[in-house]
Amino acid sequence: MKTLFKKVLIFFLLSGLLSSCSALLDIASHYDDCSYPGCDRKIKKGSAYCPHHDGNLMKNNINTSLKNMRKQASVGHY
């Protein structure tokens, strides 16, 4: 009974120690932060940048804006 108690106690102490270490490393590493200098936003899935600084998103926004401007110009409304 004493050895089982010691093993369970050691298990919980080790798991608590390892989980606190992983939490501290996660906080220190900023692994999920945007790679754009000075940006603290969280990254977009599959990218190293947040949605605001992701190149594909910006490219798509520019293409959509240009397309809308061409439509407005062809209709005659600016």
Inter-residue contact 36 to 23 (CB < 8 Å): no
Q: What is the pTM of this model?
A: 0.36
Q: Which of 25-29, 55-59, 63-67, 69-73 has the highest mean pLDDT?
A: 69-73
Of 69, 72, 47, nearest to 58 by C-alpha is 47
pLDDT of residue 59: 60
| Three-class DSSP labels, 16-74 | HHHHHHHHHHHHHHCCCECCCCCCCCECCCCCCCCCCCCHHHHHHHHHHHHHHHHHHHH
pLDDT-derived band at 1, boundaries 50, 70, 90: low
* 3-class DSSP state of 7: helix
Q: What is the pLDDT of residues 9-62, one digit of tens each?
A: 888 887 776 677 666 666 666 677 888 888 888 887 877 788 887 766 556 666
